[in-house]
Amino acid sequence: MREEPWLTRPNKTKEVLRKYGFHFQKKFGQNFLLDSHVLEKIIAAADIGRDDFVIEIGPGIGTLTQYLSYYAGNVAAVEIDKNLIPILEDTLQDWDNVEIISGDIMKMDLRKLIDERSGGRKVKFVANLPYYITTPILMRLLEEKLPVSSITVMVQKEVAERMQAGPGSKDYGALSAAVQYYSEPGIAANVPANCFIPRPNVGSAVINLRIKPEEERVKVNDEELMFHLIKAAFGQRRKTMLNALKNDKRIPYNKEQILEAMISCGLPENIRGEALALEQYAALADALA
Ligand code: SAM
């Protein structure tokens, strides 16, 4: 029999923090979850089952980790804060399908980590993310094309909304385009600040990104060029796309070439980057290349 997760029992988190004299570190984005309903929602959104290999980013004192361990086949939990490692060794001592890894998720060789532990399965990433590096973490997981089936994360509510936003919306940006190119995003729950200790200053949301197999993605010959176009266009979103692209070092084309490609795609000269759908960026990249 597996252990029942117990860190969300009333006062348990505070008891563990007191026992170890733990001090929250703002620089690591530490806001620990307290609410069992939210944890169940994360498990349901990620659709965790006994066959799954899960990587958790930032286990904290192990609250979500206990739930993951209870439902998944095996779990690797990567924590940057060395002060949390002895606490995790204590709170997870009865969960024998969890490996605690001390390190920085941004510096780790994730392909190696997955190859060595997944037994050929695709990984599910699950996390209550440290909000200070939400975008770099997600971009890394998406762009490295690791063998991942889904990413289910707690993020700032506005960031979750940005990931789902489409053309014409003020929330639509480079993150929306990248997330929607690689995955199908869906917000699973909104989570108020009182579900965390300490309380964050912002509302939060759980978002699930189902990674698209290659054949489901928007077709483009030069993916790198398409993302250069997207980043350049959104980097200067108050300018027309033509003006933003013509001055950007990442774009190896002059104004005439860009305009010619835009015309061949039926795009007006004064269009802004935020009006273009992913398919139109792909067509523009193909026309330029
Ligand atoms: N999972 C726990 C929970 O839900 O209660 C803690 C979540 S807390 C929002 C974020 C966690 O990520 C903290 O434990 C923090 O120390 C850790 N962390 C921050 N930056 C990290 C990084 N670069 N690599 C790995 N862990 C990191």
Q: What is the pLDDT of residues 242-276, one digit of tens each?
A: 999 998 999 999 999 999 999 999 999 999 999 99
What's residue 156's pLDDT?
98
Q: Quick check: 101 and 79 in contact, CB under 8 A?
A: yes
Q: pLDDT, tens digit, for every residue of 121-164? A: 999 999 999 999 999 999 999 999 999 999 999 999 999 999 99
Q: pLDDT, tens digit, for every residue of 82-93? A: 999 999 999 999
Q: Which percentage of the chain shows pLDDT scores above 90?
A: 96
Residue 1 has pLDDT above 60, yes or no: no
Residue 52 has pLDDT above 80, yes or no: yes
Residue 193's CB is within 10 A of a number of other CB atoms, namely: 13
The CA 211 to ligand 1 mean position distance, Å, reads 23
- Identify the residue whose tokens are 């993916």: 223
Cα 58 to Cα 78: distance, rounded to the nearest angstrom:
6
The CA 121 to ligand 1 mean position distance, Å, reads 25
Pocket perturbation via mutation, ligand 1, pick of 79, 126, 152 by most ligand atoms within 8 A of CB: 79
The CA 217 to ligand 1 mean position distance, Å, reads 31
Instruction: Identify residue 46 by its one-letter amino acid code.
Output: A
Q: Which residues contact 259 (CB under 8 A, 6 or more apart)?
A: 242, 269
Q: pLDDT, tens digit, for every residue of 56-68? A: 999 999 999 999 9
Which atom of ligand 1 approaches the CA of 25 most closely?
16
Cα 194 to Cα 192: distance, rounded to the nearest angstrom:
6
User: Among candidates 98, 66, 103, which has minimal Cα distance to 84?
Assistant: 103
Cα 243 to Cα 233: distance, rounded to the nearest angstrom:
9
Nearest CA to ligand 1 atom 5: 32
CA atoms in the 13 A half-sphere facing the CB of 40: 6
The CA 146 to ligand 1 mean position distance, Å, reads 21
Residue 105 has pLDDT above 60, yes or no: yes
Model confidence, pTM: 0.96
Q: What is the DSSP string of 8-57?
A: TSTTHHHHHHHHTT----GGGT--EE--HHHHHHHHHHHT--TT-EEEEE
What's residue 35's pLDDT?
95
What's residue 237's pLDDT?
85
**CATH homologous superfamily, domain 12-216:** Vaccinia Virus protein VP39 (3.40.50.150)
In this structure, the strands spanning 183-191 and 204-211 are antiparallel
The CA 252 to ligand 1 mean position distance, Å, reads 39
Nearest CA to ligand 1 atom 12: 58
Handedness of CA 26, 32, 38, 39 (dihedral sign): positive
Which atom of ligand 1 approaches the CA of 196 most closely?
5
Query: What is the rounded average pLDDT for all residues in the chain?
Result: 96
Domain boundaries in the chain?
12-216, 223-288
Q: Quick check: 278 and 217 in contact, CB under 8 A?
A: no
Give me the CATH code for the 223-288 domain, please: 1.10.8.100
Q: For ligand 1, is residue 284 a contact (CB within 6 Å)?
A: no
What's residue 154's pLDDT?
98
Q: For ligand 1, is residue 83 a contact (CB within 6 Å)?
A: no
- Identify the residue whose tokens are 């289910």: 152
